[in-house]
Amino acid sequence: MKSAPETMAANPRLNEVCDDLVATLKAFIRKHRIRYDEYHRALSFLSEAGDKQEIPLLMDVFLEMTVNDVTYADRPGTEATVEGPYYVPGPPSLKPPFVLPHRPNEPGDVLFFSGTVRSTDGAALAGAIVDLWQSDAEANYSHFNIPEAEAPFNLRGKLTTDQNGRFEVQTWVPSSYEIPKAGPTGALLAALGRHAWRPAHLHVKVSHEGHAMVTTQVFLKDDPWIHSDVVGAVKDSLIVALTKHEDPADQRKRGLERPYYTAAFDFVLPKVMAKAA
C-alpha cells in the first residue's frame, strides 16, 4: 500500500491569520445575510479588479493605511503614511543648489521646500538622503501620465542634507487629483457615493545610516480635500502651510520674475538598535 502523501510543513502564523479571516468573513455573511446574488456580484467585482490590475489600487483606498498604522504604531519620529503607486526607483541624485528635474515650460507656481533631518535624540543628520517625488501642477506624474521620453524623472530626485541636517529644494506646487476611477474601484466609490480625490502632497522617503527609513507624505494645508482624502492618508502632523512671496526684490534674489511659495517640514528618524553579537 502507498503511504499517505506527506503534507507541507505548517506555517503557524499563516494558519492563524487565515483561520481568523475566514471566521470573520463567515460572521460577516451571517450578520448581513449576504445572499447568492450579492455573493456572485462580489466575485465578479473582484475578478474584474484582478483582470484590470486594480487590486493594489483597491487595497490602497480601503485597507493600506490600516496596515501602515499597525506596522508603525509604536515607532517614534515622523509619522509614516502610504508610499502610493507612483514611486519610481532610481531617481537622479541632485547637486546643490537642489532643483528637481523639470520641463522648460513646467506649469504652475515655484515652490521652495526646506527642512531638517534629525534623529530622535535631537542630533542633526548630515548626509541624510531625501528622496522626493510628486505630481505636477496639472495632477500628472512622470513615468505614468507624463511620458518618460518627454520628461524622464520629471519632479523626482534625491538630495542630501548639509552638515547641519538641512536641505532646500526648488520644485513646483503640486495639485490635488482624482485616483483612476474608470475601473471597478472608481465604480465602487461612485456606488458608495464617495469622491475619488487626493489632496495635494509631496511624497518623501528619508533615510540615514543607523536609522529607520521613513516613507511619508507632506500635505498642503489649504487644499479643499485635506480632510476627506479618499485614501485616508492625511495625518495632522504631516500638514504644512504654504507662504507666498510677492516682493520683487525677494523674487530677484531667487532668480525669479514672479511670486513663489515656500513650505518647510522637519523630519525625525528613529535610531535602529544594534543587534547583539
Domains and CATH numbers, the chain: 70-269 (2.60.130.10)
Question: In the prediction, which pLDDT does 3 show?
Answer: 57
From residue 90, alpha-carbon distances to 100, 131, 153, 158 in Å are 14, 10, 9, 9
In this structure, what C-alpha cell is assigned to residue 184? 471597478
Average pLDDT taken over every residue of the chain: 94
pLDDT at 9 over 80: no
Three-state SS at 217? strand
Alpha helices in the chain (DSSP H): 12-32, 36-51, 55-62, 64-71, 184-192, 248-253
Question: In the prediction, which pLDDT does 8 show?
Answer: 63
Tens digits of residue pLDDT in 20-43: 999 999 999 999 999 999 999 999
How far apart are the C-alpha atoms of 157 and 86, rounded to whole Å?
13
Of the candidates 190, 201, 127, 113, the residue with the CA atom closest to the CA atom of residue 159: 127
Q: Which amino acid is at 18?
A: C
Of the candidates 59, 72, 80, the residue with the CA atom closest to the CA atom of residue 233: 80
The model's pTM: 0.90
In this structure, what C-alpha cell is assigned to residue 46? 473582484
Tens digits of residue pLDDT in 207-227: 999 999 999 999 999 999 999
Tens digits of residue pLDDT in 69-121: 999 999 999 999 999 989 999 999 999 999 999 999 999 999 999 999 999 99
Strand 214-220 with 201-207, pairing: antiparallel
Question: In the prediction, which pLDDT does 6 show?
Answer: 57
From residue 216, alpha-carbon distances to 79, 93, 95, 139, 259 in Å are 7, 19, 23, 19, 28
